[in-house]
Structure 1
Protein backbone atom coordinates (compact mmCIF):
# COMPACT_ATOMS: atom_id res chain seq x y z
CA UNK A 1 0.00 0.00 0.00
CA UNK A 2 1.46 3.30 -1.02
CA UNK A 3 0.24 6.52 0.47
CA UNK A 4 0.96 9.68 -1.45
CA UNK A 5 1.71 12.73 0.62
CA UNK A 6 2.01 16.14 -0.99
CA UNK A 7 5.50 17.60 -0.98
CA UNK A 8 5.70 20.67 1.17
CA UNK A 9 8.79 22.74 0.62
CA UNK A 10 10.48 24.63 3.43
CA UNK A 11 9.47 27.97 1.90
CA UNK A 12 5.77 27.20 2.07
CA UNK A 13 5.81 25.80 5.60
CA UNK A 14 7.99 28.51 7.16
CA UNK A 15 6.23 31.82 7.81
CA UNK A 16 7.84 34.62 5.86
CA UNK A 17 8.73 37.80 7.70
CA UNK A 18 7.30 40.92 6.15
CA UNK A 19 8.45 44.27 7.44
CA UNK A 20 6.17 47.25 7.37
CA UNK A 21 7.80 50.00 5.31
CA UNK A 22 6.90 53.55 6.32
CA UNK A 23 7.07 56.43 3.85
CA UNK A 24 6.95 60.16 4.56
CA UNK A 25 5.65 62.89 2.24
CA UNK A 26 8.34 65.44 1.35
CA UNK A 27 5.94 68.38 1.33
CA UNK A 28 3.79 67.92 4.45
CA UNK A 29 5.61 65.13 6.33
CA UNK A 30 2.62 62.78 6.62
CA UNK A 31 3.69 59.19 7.30
CA UNK A 32 2.04 56.45 5.28
CA UNK A 33 2.60 52.69 5.37
CA UNK A 34 3.26 50.58 2.29
CA UNK A 35 -0.05 48.72 2.63
CA UNK A 36 -1.99 52.00 2.68
CA UNK A 37 -0.25 53.14 -0.51
CA UNK A 38 -1.08 49.90 -2.33
CA UNK A 39 -4.79 50.31 -1.54
CA UNK A 40 -4.98 53.64 -3.34
CA UNK A 41 -5.47 53.80 -7.13
CA UNK A 42 -2.48 56.14 -7.48
CA UNK A 43 0.48 56.88 -5.25
CA UNK A 44 -0.31 60.32 -3.90
CA UNK A 45 -0.31 61.97 -0.48
CA UNK A 46 -3.42 63.55 1.01
CA UNK A 47 -1.89 66.95 0.19
CA UNK A 48 -1.57 65.97 -3.49
CA UNK A 49 2.22 65.60 -3.57
CA UNK A 50 3.58 62.45 -5.24
CA UNK A 51 7.11 62.32 -3.82
CA UNK A 52 7.73 60.11 -0.78
CA UNK A 53 10.82 59.45 1.30
CA UNK A 54 11.45 56.10 3.00
CA UNK A 55 11.69 56.52 6.77
CA UNK A 56 14.70 54.77 8.26
CA UNK A 57 14.24 52.55 11.30
CA UNK A 58 15.57 53.96 14.58
CA UNK A 59 18.03 51.06 14.99
CA UNK A 60 21.69 52.10 14.84
CA UNK A 61 24.16 49.52 13.55
CA UNK A 62 27.59 49.39 15.11
CA UNK A 63 30.57 47.72 13.45
CA UNK A 64 33.69 46.63 15.33
CA UNK A 65 36.99 47.93 13.98
CA UNK A 66 39.52 45.43 12.69
Structure 2
Protein backbone atom coordinates (compact mmCIF):
# COMPACT_ATOMS: atom_id res chain seq x y z
CA UNK A 1 0.00 0.00 0.00
CA UNK A 2 1.36 3.42 -0.95
CA UNK A 3 1.91 5.91 1.89
CA UNK A 4 -0.72 8.61 2.13
CA UNK A 5 0.74 12.00 1.33
CA UNK A 6 -0.98 15.27 1.99
CA UNK A 7 -1.29 17.44 -1.09
CA UNK A 8 -1.80 21.12 -0.46
CA UNK A 9 -1.74 24.06 -2.82
CA UNK A 10 0.92 26.73 -2.51
CA UNK A 11 -0.57 30.22 -2.21
CA UNK A 12 1.16 33.24 -3.71
CA UNK A 13 0.39 36.92 -3.06
CA UNK A 14 0.81 39.76 -5.55
CA UNK A 15 3.16 42.48 -4.30
CA UNK A 16 1.20 45.30 -5.91
CA UNK A 17 -2.47 44.58 -5.19
CA UNK A 18 -2.25 41.80 -2.57
CA UNK A 19 -4.40 39.27 -4.47
CA UNK A 20 -3.95 35.66 -3.30
CA UNK A 21 -3.45 33.17 -6.15
CA UNK A 22 -2.90 29.42 -5.96
CA UNK A 23 -0.26 27.53 -7.88
CA UNK A 24 -2.83 25.71 -10.02
CA UNK A 25 -4.45 29.00 -11.05
CA UNK A 26 -1.07 30.34 -12.16
CA UNK A 27 -0.31 27.27 -14.27
CA UNK A 28 -3.61 27.61 -16.16
CA UNK A 29 -2.66 31.04 -17.47
CA UNK A 30 -0.41 31.41 -20.54
CA UNK A 31 2.01 33.61 -18.57
CA UNK A 32 2.60 34.15 -14.88
CA UNK A 33 0.90 37.46 -14.25
CA UNK A 34 -1.58 38.84 -11.73
CA UNK A 35 -4.97 40.25 -12.74
CA UNK A 36 -3.52 43.73 -12.16
CA UNK A 37 -0.69 43.02 -14.64
CA UNK A 38 2.11 42.74 -12.06
CA UNK A 39 4.48 39.76 -12.34
CA UNK A 40 6.07 39.67 -8.88
CA UNK A 41 4.62 37.26 -6.30
CA UNK A 42 5.61 36.26 -2.79
CA UNK A 43 4.90 32.90 -1.22
CA UNK A 44 2.39 33.08 1.65
CA UNK A 45 3.58 31.22 4.72
CA UNK A 46 1.15 28.91 6.52
CA UNK A 47 -0.21 30.21 9.83
CA UNK A 48 1.19 27.20 11.73
CA UNK A 49 4.02 28.11 14.09
CA UNK A 50 6.38 25.31 15.03
CA UNK A 51 8.05 25.40 18.43
CA UNK A 52 11.07 23.29 19.21
CA UNK A 53 12.68 22.56 22.54
CA UNK A 54 16.34 23.46 22.92
CA UNK A 55 18.67 20.52 23.28
- Which structure carries more helix by proportion? 1
TM over 0.5: yes
| TM-score scaled by length of structure 2 | 0.89
Higher relative contact order (CA 8 A, sep 6+): 2
**TM-score, normalised via structure 1 length:** 0.75
Unaligned runs of 5+ in 1: 1-9
Question: What is the root-mean-square deviation in Å for CA atoms of aligned residues?
Answer: 1.4
Structure 2 residue 38 is matched with structure 1 residue 32 = no
Q: Which has the larger radius of gyration?
A: 1
Unaligned runs of 5+ in 2: none
